[in-house]
Amino acid sequence: MNMATTFGQAISEVDQLIIGQAHELSDKLKQHRLEMFPPVAQKSLRQFQLSEAARFLGVTSGYLRNLSLESKGPLPQVTPSGRRSYTAEQLQEMRAYLEQNSRGQRYVPRRRNGEHLQVIAVVNFKGGSGKTTTTAHLAQHLALTGHRVLAVDLDPQASLSAIHGFQPEFDVDENETLYGAIRYDDQRRPLKEIIRKTNFPGLDIVPGNLELMEFEHDTPRILAQGNSGDYGRIFFARLDEALSSVADDYDVVVIDCPPQLGFLTMSAICGATAALITVHPQMLDVMSMCQFLQMLGEVLNTLKSAGGNMNLDWLRYLVTRYDPADGPQTQMVAFMRSLFKQHVLTNPMVRSVAIADAALTNQTLYEVERSQFTRATYDRALESMEAVNTEIVELIHKAWGR
């Protein structure tokens, strides 16, 4: 037996092993999932306490309590001890009620004539920099504060979809990711057909799964062909076009990018009106981000010469998983601020077990119950998250000229 055959056999054994293990794992995951989320049962959403509801609505708790006492607007659930809470749907109703009954004050923040769709690409090719956590919380915050939001999962690993109850291997079929709306052949379909509702009223999602990788494979092939025929509008315009087809239904689109600067990420950046670069303040991460920025610069130059353009209203760095008690991290943040100045968001996202624990069950801070945690732990995490999100909402509204 020569070496090649031995090697060949070894490989096929390994192949078998991997396939066998993949099967086994898939079965176990299915089982686990059935236990966690029964079939058909959609992910539900908890109620929001009066103080949270008031914050999302932009009124004081006292004012909201008075409305409830006077039976005005949707009526909250009241516990025997007098605690009031609202569903996310009721927040929407209350917002409409407040706007109807106010003299000119706006409570429904939707964009109006002349205010363009905001498309925020959350990027960085460093894995684990907090892209998905940021995207999920931002999208949900925007929805809870009355915006019409579309979250796009552009990562073949599809963690954002999983957070919203769509398991990439089980719940998302062929042609049901963004790939379906940007592919180059005649299987392409309207994005509107691919969009799904989430458990957050006001938040829709384009789920992802491994199928998205096809775009990374197709694009170089199409580019090599030179003239790409009927379906061949240049790759970087495709995502932008797909989003344009549903623009009327949304105020903000938030895109969770994969941890690489491939064609998907480039499409997102070209279709974006804003970029949020998440960075964990550690030396290796910042060095990796430096490479990312250099590559991005080169790519953008190439795209420009091919007729593409990046037209950003704003670009910000967001410090993620920040531990203020960690000296080197604090120095790294100071270094970034001295370098990038106002382009670093004022508020960093602190590291918190509340976020990490919530993620274990595919949840966000807006979904878990505060009672699951030590109060101070939950409150500190939420305060940090809300500060970050509020700062981003201000940038969005500023881009609308408000």
Ligand X SMILES: Nc1ncnc2c1ncn2[C@@H]1O[C@H](COP(=O)(O)OP(=O)(O)OP(=O)(O)O)[C@@H](O)[C@H]1O
Q: Which CB atom, from 98 or from 359, has the smaller least distance to Mg ion?
A: 359
Only segment of 31-39, 56-64, 151-159, 321-329 that touches Mg ion (CB under 5 A): 151-159
Which of 356, 394, 398, 402 forms a contact with ligand X (CB under 6 A)? 356
- Quote the least distance from Cβ 315 to ligand X, whole Å: 17
Q: Does 359 bind ligand X (CB under 6 A)?
A: yes
Please work out the total of residues on this chain that contact ligand X, with binding judged by CB under 6 A. Answer: 18
How many beta carbons lie within 10 A of that of residue 332, not counting itself? 20
Which of 92, 118, 129, 167 forms a contact with ligand X (CB under 6 A)? 129
Q: Does 183 bind ligand X (CB under 6 A)?
A: no
- Quote the least distance from Cβ 131 to ligand X, whole Å: 3
Q: From 171, 200, 197, 175, select the one nearest 46 (Cα to Cα).
A: 200
Distance CA 280, CA 293 (A): 15
Each residue 336-355 as x (binds ligand X by CB under 6 A) or -, in order, gives -------------x-xx--x
Only segment of 6-14, 124-132, 288-296, 342-350 that touches Mg ion (CB under 5 A): 124-132
Q: Which CB atom, from 131 or from 280, has the smaller least distance to Mg ion?
A: 131
Which of 129, 132, 347, 364 forms a contact with Mg ion (CB under 5 A)? 132
Q: Does 139 bind ligand X (CB under 6 A)?
A: no
- Quote the least distance from Cβ 163 to Mg ion, whole Å: 10
Only segment of 93-101, 128-136, 166-174, 225-233 that touches ligand X (CB under 6 A): 128-136
Please work out the total of residues on this chain that contact Mg ion, with binding judged by CB under 5 A. Answer: 3
Only segment of 130-138, 170-178, 231-239, 290-298 that touches ligand X (CB under 6 A): 130-138
Compute the Cα dihedral for 26, 27, 32, 37 and give only its sign.
positive
The entry of Mg ion, ligand X, none that residue 321 binds, CB within 5 to 8 Å by partner kind: ligand X
Q: Which CB atom, from 128 or from 232, has the smaller least distance to Mg ion?
A: 128
Q: Does 118 bind ligand X (CB under 6 A)?
A: no
The entry of Mg ion, ligand X, none that residue 176 binds, CB within 5 to 8 Å by partner kind: none
Distance CA 155, CA 192 (A): 19
| SS3 of the chain | CCHHHHHHHHHHHHHHHHHHHHHHHHHHHHHHHHHHCCCCCCCCCCCEEHHHHHHHHCCCHHHHHHHHHCCCCCCCEECCCCCEEECHHHHHHHHHHHHHCCCCCCCCCCCCCCCCCEEEEEECCCCCCCHHHHHHHHHHHHHHCCCCEEEEECCCCCHHHHHCCCCCCCCCCCCCCCHHHHCCCCCCCCHHHHCEECCCCCEEEECCCHHHHHHHHHHHHHHHCCCCCCCCCCHHHHHHHHHHCCHHHCCEEEEECCCCCCHHHHHHHHHCCEEEEEECCCHHHHHHHHHHHHHHHHHHHHHHHCCCCCCCCEEEEEECCECCCCHHHHHHHHHHHHHHHHHECCCCCECCHHHHHHHHCCCCCCCCCHHHCCHHHHHHHHHHHHHHHHHHHHHHHHHCCC
Q: Does 219 bind ligand X (CB under 6 A)?
A: no
- Quote the least distance from Cβ 131 to Mg ion, whole Å: 5
Which of 58, 128, 201, 232 forms a contact with ligand X (CB under 6 A)? 128
Would you put residue 142 in left (φ > 0), alpha (ψ -120 to 50) or beta? Answer: alpha
Q: Which CB atom, from 94 or from 160, has the smaller least distance to Mg ion?
A: 160
**Residue 233, CB half-sphere, CA atoms under 13 Å: how many?**
13
Which of 68, 90, 132, 140 forms a contact with ligand X (CB under 6 A)? 132
Which of 321, 348, 364, 388 forms a contact with ligand X (CB under 6 A)? 321
The entry of ligand X, Mg ion, none that residue 161 binds, CB within 5 to 8 Å by partner kind: none
Only segment of 31-39, 158-166, 184-192, 274-282 that touches Mg ion (CB under 5 A): 158-166
Binding residues for ligand X, rule: CB under 6 A, are 127-133, 155, 159, 259, 320-321, 349, 351-352, 355-356, 359
Residues of this chain that interact with Mg ion (CB under 5 A) are 131-132, 159
